[in-house]
Amino acid sequence: MAINENTLAAVAQIRRDLDAMSRAQTVALTRAWVEAWDALGPEFTTALVELLQGSTDPVVRAAVVRKNARLQQALKQARATLVELARATGEIAVKDTAQVVLDAVSGHAAIVGSQLPPGAAAAGVSFTRTSPEALAWIVERTTQQIHSAARPLPADVIRLMRQELVRGIAVGENPRRTAERLVKRAEMRFNGGLTRALTIARTETLDAHRAATQASEKTNKDILAEWEWFANLDRRTCPSCIAKHGQHFPLSEPGPDDHQNGRCARITVTKSWAELGFKNIPEPEPITQDSKAWFDNLTPDTQRAIMGPARLELLNSGKITWDDLSQKVETTGWRDSYRTPSIKSLV
C-alpha cells in the first residue's frame, strides 16, 4: 500500500525517539569535553605565560616554543585526555546501539502494519520479527565502526593544537593576553574533536537504525515492494536531500545514504493490496509530498537560504536540474554519501 497518515505518524515517532537519544549523547559528550578543557586550559596558559615572560626577544621562534618542556608536558597531558575522551565517545555511542536496533525493528513493524489492509493478519499477511542473531551482528558491526572512527581523534586533534601553539609568537606588551589568545585558538582546535565525536555518534546511531530496518525488510520481503527516501522537509533540509525525497529504491539497496548528521528516513513500502491477495478493496493513494512543489511554494528568501543564491540562479535559469543537486561522494573511512555539489562543480 502507499504511504499514508499512519505511516508518517510512525516515522515521526521514530524521529522523535532518535532525536531524544541524540540529544542525550550530545549532552554527555559535551559535558565530558568541557570538563576536560577546564582542566587543561590553565596548564597551557601558565606554560605560555612563563615562556613569553622569560623571552628577551620580541618574537619567540617556533623552535624555542617546540622545545619548551612545560608546554610539551601540557600537550602530552592533552593527548592522554583525548585518548580517554575517544574511549568515552565510543562508550556513549555504543551504549545506545542495542536499543536503537530494537527500536528500529519495532518502528518498522509500525510502518509496515500501517500499510496493510484491514484484516490482513487474519488472512495470514503479517509482520515477522528479525532473528536476535541478525540484530546482534548489526550491534557488533556498529560497535567496531564507532571505535574505529574514534581511534584517530587524539592524534589528529593534538596535531592541530600544536600548529596553533608551536609557531613564531610576537610577544607584544602583554604576555598574558598573548598567551590567552593562543590558548583560545588551541581550545577551538580541541573542540573540533568534540564536533567530530558528535558526528560519529549521531551518524553511526542512524546507520545502525537503518541497517536494522533493512534486516527487518529481508525477513518480510514477501509482503514488501521497495523503500522510499523520505527527507524532513524544512528550512534546514539541504538541496541534495530535497532532490532525493520521494525516490524509490529496491530493498537490496542500502540507505538513505545521506550526508553526515543527515535526517532522512527509509520508509518501506508494502506490495499493493491486490498483490497481497486483497483484490476487491480500494487502496488509498500515496500522500508523500512532492518536494519540488514544496520548494516552489517557499518564499524567495527561504529558497535562497536553502539553496544559496548561485545554485538558485542556476536552477531557475534551467542550467541545472534537481538531479544535478545530489552527488554521490566517496569519503575515506566512511560510507559513500549523497551531498549537495559545490558551485564550481555545477558550473
For the segment 8-24, what is each residue's pLDDT rounded down to a tens digit?
999 999 999 999 999 99
Mean pLDDT, residues 60-69: 82
Q: Which helix (H) or strand (E) holds 224?
A: strand 224-230
84: pLDDT strictly greater than 70: yes
CA 271 to chain centre: 31
265: helix, strand or coil: strand
Query: Highest-confidence range of 110-119, 159-168, 245-254, by mean pLDDT?
Result: 245-254
In sequence order, what are the residues at sequence separation of 6 or more whose Cβ sits closer than 8 angstroms to the Cβ of residue 27?
A: none
Query: Does pLDDT of 28 surpass 70?
Result: yes
Per-residue pLDDT at 122 exceeds 60: no
CA distance 61 to 264: 50
Question: How far apart, in whole angstroms, are the C-alpha atoms of residue 306 and residue 320?
Answer: 16
Q: What is the pTM of this model?
A: 0.82
Residue 143's CB: how many other CB atoms inside 10 A? 17
pLDDT (0 to 100) of residue 51: 84
Q: How many CB atoms lie within 10 A of CB 82?
A: 22
Q: Which of 48, 76, 42, 73 is nearest to 169 (CA)?
A: 48
The residue that leads in pLDDT, 145 or 54, is 145
State mean pLDDT over 24-35: 94
Cα dihedral across residues 215, 220, 222, 224: positive or negative: negative
pLDDT in tens, 267-299: 999 999 989 888 878 888 888 999 999 999 999
Angle, in degrees to the nearest 10, between helices 153-165 and 175-219: 160
pLDDT digits (tens, 9 = 90+) for 190-248: 999 999 999 888 888 888 998 999 999 999 999 999 999 999 899 999 999 999 999 99
Q: According to the model, what pLDDT value does residue 168 have? A: 67
Contact yes or no for 146/94 (Cβ under 8 A): yes
**pLDDT digits over 40-61, tens only?**
999 999 988 888 887 777 777 8
The grid cell for 160 is 592541530
Which of 133-142's residues contact partners 24+ apart within 8 Å by CB, and which partners?
Answer: 134/215, 134/219, 135/101, 135/102, 135/105, 135/212, 135/215, 138/101, 138/208, 138/211, 138/212, 138/215, 139/97, 139/98, 139/101, 139/208, 141/211, 142/94, 142/97, 142/204, 142/207, 142/208, 142/211
Peptide linkage before 256 cis (omega within 30 of 0) = yes
Domain boundaries, the chain: 5-346
**What integer best gives the mean pLDDT of the chain?**
89
pLDDT digits (tens, 9 = 90+) for 306-320: 999 999 999 999 999
The answer to whether residues 60 and 167 touch, using CB atoms and an 8 Å cutoff, is no
85, 89, 90, 92: CA torsion to nearest 10: 130
